[in-house]
Amino acid sequence: MTTKITQQSKTVELAKLDKKHLLHPATNPKALIDNGPPIIFAKGKGVIVTSTDDVEYIDGMSMLWNVNLGHGNQELADAGNSQLSTLAYASSFKGFSNEPSILLAEKLAELAPGDLNSVFYTSGGSESNDTAIKLARFYWELKGKSEKRKIIALTNAYHGVTIGAQTATGLAAFHKFASSNIDGVVRAKAHLLNSELGDKSDPNYADSIRGTIEREGAETIAGIIIEPVQGAGGVNIPPEGYLEAVRKICDEHNILFMADEVICGFGRTGKMFGVNNWNVVPDMMSIAKGITSGYSQLGGVMMNDEIRETIANFDAVIPHGFTYSGHPTACAIGLKNIEILERDNIIDHVNEMEKELKKGLDYLAEKHSIVTNCRVIGLLAAFELYEEPTSGKLFDPTVFPANAVVDACFNRQLIVRALGAHNQIVAIAPPLIINKEEIEKMIQIIDDSITAFKNTRE
């Protein structure tokens, strides 16, 4: 029987049930049960999310970098409602199809760079990356090169948690979890521009993508998976020329360039896709999150005409597909989401707001000597906390500086996120519809939170 919940006791009752029945993702279960309560969100509007206790938070992370058009968007809700009452769900297996999935595929082909004209739908980012890995291997098998099956993935990469995507993820904790990894993923060090341009005197050359290809043999490598801007690994923007250099390496060695646009896609970086910042056309592209602004679960892998045509000539059933591949309601919301992005010139707005966010971070770095390495691309940003930035001295590992600042922000009703192997990075990725005043409010809260953190250290 479901527990009856009165308005008065709502948060307490829900928290009790949550602790009893939910195992939360990416959460310390013991700490939650011992020290909870969980924060239970009840509603949202624009950049604001409101808890069951009626506390309003500025969502400075778009939740999980995905609520790009902000909360409570009526047009997205209406698009979902309308499709739900017309045809909520239809299978895409065995040639079945539906109008929203077809029209969205056409729109994606129009928006995507180069000849990335086809999409394989999934329900999210991890499924997209697992699919991309499988399709890359399948493509080479069809080309008669089945020995080309390794995937190069980068340090600090985040590609998700299904077993293939998790293996490609470059963050240590994920690899230890339940010893679940696939074979054939090799790690290269991220963002070694000189090495990738061919400078063998670079001390890290052996660990670079070039060095890795020389060691492993290009004839064994299917593709390189790469986030145009690394997200969960620390909001790491590649050096200028890096992605172009990787594209060139892929061309030289007949290796697929697989862009993971799960965070970067759909305007987050001030362009429609992250790769558009660098004039690079990938062979495959994983998309999710911002495609629906989180109003429904949807992802996909886009592929170029060569891959599509090679696979299209395979004359047997492809044994890969998800129940929710091409979900009509998710696709209808995706279509509306893109329509709004274009109609309201959201990407121009992102570029305007980028300047405000940059100004804010510069102010924080100027005011607080512990703030350093500020970076902003579109509305994807981070800064770092060092005890002594000039000498590169980090805080003692027991301090957890980013957690401290993020918690202080939360107590002041702003959601931002702690990242980094040394818990030194604070990430900011607000909804793309955020305005100047809301950015100023965010910066004010972060400013106060850093001051509060510094005060605890004195």
Residues of this chain that bind ligand PMP (CB under 6 A): 64, 124-126, 129, 158-160, 227, 231-232, 260, 262-263, 288
- Smallest distance, ligand PMP to C-beta of residue 260, A: 5
Q: 59 CB contacts (<8 Å, ≥6 apart)?
A: 44, 47, 48, 49, 67, 70, 71, 415, 430, 431
Is 378 in contact with 400 (CB distance < 8 Å)? Answer: no
H-run or E-run covering 105? helix 99-111
- Judged by CB, which is closer to ligand PMP: 165, or 399? 165
- Smallest distance, ligand PMP to C-beta of residue 74, A: 25
- Smallest distance, ligand PMP to C-beta of residue 360, A: 23
- Judged by CB, which is closer to ligand PMP: 32, or 171? 171
Give CA–CA dist 83/408, Å, rounded. 42
Q: For every residue of 300-329, which 3-state class applies, written as one string?
A: EEEEEHHHHHHHHCCCCCCCCCCCCCCCHH
- Smallest distance, ligand PMP to C-beta of residue 210, A: 23
- Smallest distance, ligand PMP to C-beta of residue 187, A: 16
Is 165 in contact with 124 (CB distance < 8 Å)? Answer: no
- Judged by CB, which is closer to ligand PMP: 154, or 404? 154
Give CA–CA dist 412/360, Å, rounded. 17
- Judged by CB, which is closer to ligand PMP: 173, or 316? 173
- Judged by CB, which is closer to ligand PMP: 260, or 384? 260
- Judged by CB, which is closer to ligand PMP: 158, or 386? 158
- Judged by CB, which is closer to ligand PMP: 66, or 212? 66
Instruction: Give per-residue burial for 72-87: e unless 16+ CB within 10 Å, then b.
Output: ebeebeebbeebeeee
- Smallest distance, ligand PMP to C-beta of residue 272, A: 16
- Smallest distance, ligand PMP to C-beta of residue 62, A: 11
- Smallest distance, ligand PMP to C-beta of residue 429, A: 10
- Judged by CB, which is closer to ligand PMP: 124, or 223? 124
For 238, phi then psi, to 5°, come to -70, 155
- Smallest distance, ligand PMP to C-beta of residue 236, A: 12
- Judged by CB, which is closer to ligand PMP: 258, or 385? 258
186 C-beta neighbours (distance < 10 Å), count:
16
For 381, phi then psi, to 5°, come to -150, 160
Instruction: Give per-residue burial for 254-283: e unless 16+ CB within 10 Å, then b.
Output: ebbbbbbbbbbbbbbbbbbbbbbbbebbbb
Q: 198 CB contacts (<8 Å, ≥6 apart)?
A: 210
For 194, phi then psi, to 5°, come to -60, -45
* CA gyration radius, the chain: 22
- Judged by CB, which is closer to ligand PMP: 331, or 371? 331
190 phi-psi bin (left φ>0, alpha ψ -120 to 50, beta other):
beta
Distance of CA 47 to the CA centre of its chain: 18
- Smallest distance, ligand PMP to C-beta of residue 128, A: 7
Q: What is the crossing angle of helices 209-216 and 242-253, to 10°?
A: 20
Give CA–CA dist 102/152, Å, rounded. 32
Nearest residue to ligand PMP by CB is 125
